[in-house]
Amino acid sequence: MSALVTLARDGAVATLTVNRPEKLNALDREVLAALGARVAELAADPSIACAILTGAGEKAFVAGADIGEMQALDVAGARAFAQAGHATLAALEALPIPVIAAVNGFALGGGCELALACDFIHASERARFGQPEVKLGVIPGFGGTQRLARRVGIARARELVYSGAMIGAEEALRIGLVNAVHPAAELARAVAELARTIASMGPRAVAKAKEVLREGEGLRLADANALEVEGFAACFATADQKEGMSAFLEKRAARFTGA
């Protein structure tokens, strides 16, 4: 397996690290392929209940797509590159387990898009976000125009995309792009603690919650609520539901098995 994206396991928590610090973890075709392979590895591992995605080094989560590789692309090549990015990020987004982006530095262009494909983002105080593609004469190509608008609202997304502005972690928190900001030295610990908390919950319930939240996002409220009813009911066919409720009534910690 490629060392461009590493995978470490700690109990039920996995950490994916984009490992190209000499290029600020920039996404080229090889990195996208390595990330896709790691995502497939996670999808096939039922022992993992939550994942963290981060970047190697202190400067960048992912500074963007690799401009050196993109510069020579023609229209067909650009389309293929964008499609590869979309496919990888869609696979990440579709994982049944929650994925937390731990943004430790620059998350620009493709890096911001990668973070947006995670369930939510925790950031270092040093983190910087943006979709600066218009400065290069192009637009976001890995979902930035769409996921950013869904995260922060269409008007804020328009402003960020049209201006190519880079914003700091506190501004990203204010507009709802990130969930929390931590001192740089505490980011990894804080995110790992949260991931362990999520992993300790009923895994079938967390997976069903992710499914319902994701599928309901674009539906009319009545249809989304109907989806929730069916998801709620489905949980009662699981051993985890019986264990969770029995543990509550017996005033003990639940022992979930994912069954």
Are residues 214 and 189 located together in one domain of the fold? no
Distance from C-alpha of 27 to C-alpha of 23, rounded to nearest angstrom: 9
Residue 256 lies in a domain: no
Q: Helices 239-249 and 203-216: crossing angle, nearest 10°?
A: 110
Are residues 144 and 215 located together in one domain of the fold? no
Residue 254 lies in a domain: no
Residue 115 lies in a domain: yes
Q: What are the tokens at 251? A: 């005033």
Residue 258 lies in a domain: no
Mean pLDDT by 10 residues, the chain (259 residues): 90 97 94 97 96 96 91 95 97 98 97 98 98 97 96 98 98 98 97 98 96 95 97 96 96 92
Are residues 86 and 194 located together in one domain of the fold? yes
Are residues 138 and 222 located together in one domain of the fold? no
Its domain, for residue 239, covers: 203-249
The predicted pLDDT at position 258 comes to 87
**CATH number reported for the structural domain that contains residue 64 in this entry:** 3.90.226.10
Q: What's the first-to-final CA gap in the chain, in angstroms?
A: 30
Residue 100 lies in a domain: yes
Residue 255 lies in a domain: no
Q: Phi and psi (nearest 5°) for 81?
A: -65, -45
The predicted pLDDT at position 65 comes to 87
Are residues 223 and 133 located together in one domain of the fold? no
The predicted pLDDT at position 105 comes to 96
The predicted pLDDT at position 85 comes to 97
What's the burial of 203, exposed, middle or buried (CB within 10 Å: 0-12/13-18/19+)? Answer: buried
The answer to whether 52 and 77 are in contact (CB under 8 A) is no
Are residues 171 and 211 located together in one domain of the fold? no
The predicted pLDDT at position 238 comes to 96
Q: What are the tokens at 15? A: 């950490």
When divided into structural domains, the chain yields a total of 2
Q: Give catalytic residues, as residue numbers.
A: 113, 133
H, E, C per residue of 175-244 = CCCCCEEECHHHHHHHHHHHHHHHHCCCHHHHHHHHHHHHHHCCCCHHHHHHHHHHHHHHHCCCHHHHHH
**CATH number reported for the structural domain that contains residue 214 in this entry:** 1.10.12
Q: What amino acid is encoded at 165 in this protein?
A: A
Are residues 168 and 235 located together in one domain of the fold? no
Residue 257 lies in a domain: no
Distance from C-alpha of 169 to C-alpha of 130, rounded to nearest angstrom: 11
